[in-house]
Structure 1
Amino acid sequence: MRRIVIFTLAGFLMAATAVMNIFDELETTQDKAKETLVSAFGSGNFSASYDLVKKARSLPVELRVEGARQLIRFAKDYTRTEEFKDQYKRWRQEMLGGGRRPKKFGIPNPMKVLDNAIDKQLNKSDTEKKVPADPNEMLKMRLQEFLDVSATVDFGAQVSGGRFVKSEYESKSPQWKMCYRAGKDVIQVAREEAQVWLKELE
């Protein structure tokens, strides 16, 4: 009986170690993850490199599920830091055209200058809505977008020759397809964590 208990405890410890080392499993680092989090959340584009996706999909389902939970909690902890807030502010300024531009010489066309100013103001207004100044508002937006999209994914969809059997699925967004490829188990735990996170931000 004692040996059974010892082996069971060892199994739990091994599982915990595997979860805690998800960055090692993916052969990446927390610093690299931090570098991508700002632009990923800011733009809503959570695409990863082919090699990273391949490594993730090669992991056992149990480890992928627990790994997803850990990665989301890591992201939540990092987005609470001043470092993230500062990086997001810089990224947003660049998105809104806050960087310096080289000077141009010559006499400008007044009408063209006016048209460009109007276009710039309209584009800036649209961008400001998509990337709000408050990082928490941006995070709430992205989490809700994920919950909305992931709720519509048909994980039972059939694929043939690298394409969906149902042609309408081919026109789905990259986010929808990303959720489908991640699998029902992974997305289910991701949704659970996202819902908790969203409530904490409200």
Structure 2
Amino acid sequence: MKTKQILLISIVGILSISASQYVDDILSRLGIEAQYAQYNIRSNFIGRFDNGPLDSRVSENTFKIPYAKLLPSIIAGDKTGAAKELCHYIKNYINSEEFIISYNEMRQDALPLRDSQDPNRRSLGSLKSELKTIELNIKNYPNDVAYITEQKKLKDQAQASIDNIMEASKKPFPNKELWEQTYPTNPEVLVKKRLQEYLALVNTVDFSAKLTAPDNYKIQKFVNPTYESKSPQWKACYRAGKEVNDVFTSFANEWLKGEIIASVKTKMSDTSIGPKEETKSNSMTTTTVMENNTTQVNDSPTETEKTESVSVPTKAKISLLDKMKAKAKKIIN
């Protein structure tokens, strides 16, 4: 049975190697920040870890567990307790303002369109990132007339390309149907589908399956060759064990009975996971969730746009360390 990426599977994988403590402790000891943890949830959820335009169908078995090889030596504790904590964290995140914002950014970045008038054939996400950089340059060097003139010209070109892409998105284009299926306008459709896929998958797992003795590379395989050819998700469920999957199954069933994504969003706490970061407020906020599956792309730049690398003339010198940090941040986003 083939399945796409499943929301709860990423957590099953984390728990499959050893017993686990609460999520905050696991991720802080691994050095995983909230942003990175949430990125993995979204990407496993959507079924795609690549940035940029969605030009071809993604593999149905694309699946990642962050820092999987490090887990055996650093996690220990109550597996079922950790499973419950992780389930609640995922549901809280999916119902958060941060998830909706990040999901819509990923959806825009994946739009499989480029401006035919743009010689560099940049994507929508890349153009928006470039536009923000240009605006920052203009703000930082207000007295350099020649430089400001150059930057304003680049800004006009980038905005024109963005406008052309937005106009083209209103019409049929190659891979439009694939893009809409992979990134539905209302992510509730995707959440519900993944929960249902998990429940269908876990019912096929034989938790009593036997493994061979470790070979010279300490690798164990299924005695039944049919199981050895199963998907990474199926094997992750098996490794987690029936006890943990019973927790996930119960949680998924309860989630499907009620509201999948709430219309009123909470803002994730800066203490939810990983190192501390400043947040302006933890109060309840309202975010509108689109209720249909029509193509709709927000054409206004967002504060956390994730894009391809771009080349924009700037005056500021960037150190090697800053470049590494920027690259790491881009991968996380």
TM-score with structure 2 length normalisation? 0.45
Aligned positions of 1:1-202 closer than 5 A: 21-26=22-27, 27=29, 28-43=32-47, 47-48=64-65, 49-51=67-69, 53-54=71-72, 58-60=75-77, 63-97=78-112, 103=119, 121=173, 123-160=175-212, 161=214, 162-201=220-259
The question of whether the paired residues in 1 share the 8 Å contact of 2:209 and 2:222 is answered with yes
The question of whether the paired residues in 2 share the 8 Å contact of 1:68 and 1:189 is answered with yes
Unaligned runs of 5+ in 1: 1-17, 106-119
User: Is the partner of 2:207 in helix, strand or coil?
Assistant: coil
Q: 2-side partners of 1:31 and 1:136: how far apart?
A: 21
Identity over the aligned pairs, expressed in percent? 34
The question of whether the paired residues in 2 share the 8 Å contact of 1:43 and 1:131 is answered with no
Unaligned runs of 5+ in 2: 1-19, 49-61, 122-171, 215-219, 261-333
Shift of residue 103 of structure 1?
Answer: 2.4
Amino acid across the alignment from 2:40: T
User: Is the partner of 1:163 in helix, strand or coil?
Assistant: coil
Question: What CA RMSD, in Å, does the superposition of the two structures yield over aligned residues?
Answer: 2.8
Amino acid across the alignment from 2:44: A
Shift of residue 32 of structure 1?
Answer: 3.4
Shift of residue 82 of structure 1?
Answer: 1.8
Amino acid across the alignment from 2:191: L
User: Is the partner of 1:38 in helix, strand or coil?
Assistant: helix
Shift of residue 90 of structure 1?
Answer: 1.1
The question of whether the paired residues in 1 share the 8 Å contact of 2:205 and 2:238 is answered with yes
The question of whether the paired residues in 1 share the 8 Å contact of 2:222 and 2:228 is answered with yes
Q: 1-side partners of 2:114 and 2:256: how far apart?
A: 32
The question of whether the paired residues in 1 share the 8 Å contact of 2:199 and 2:249 is answered with yes
Higher helix share: 1
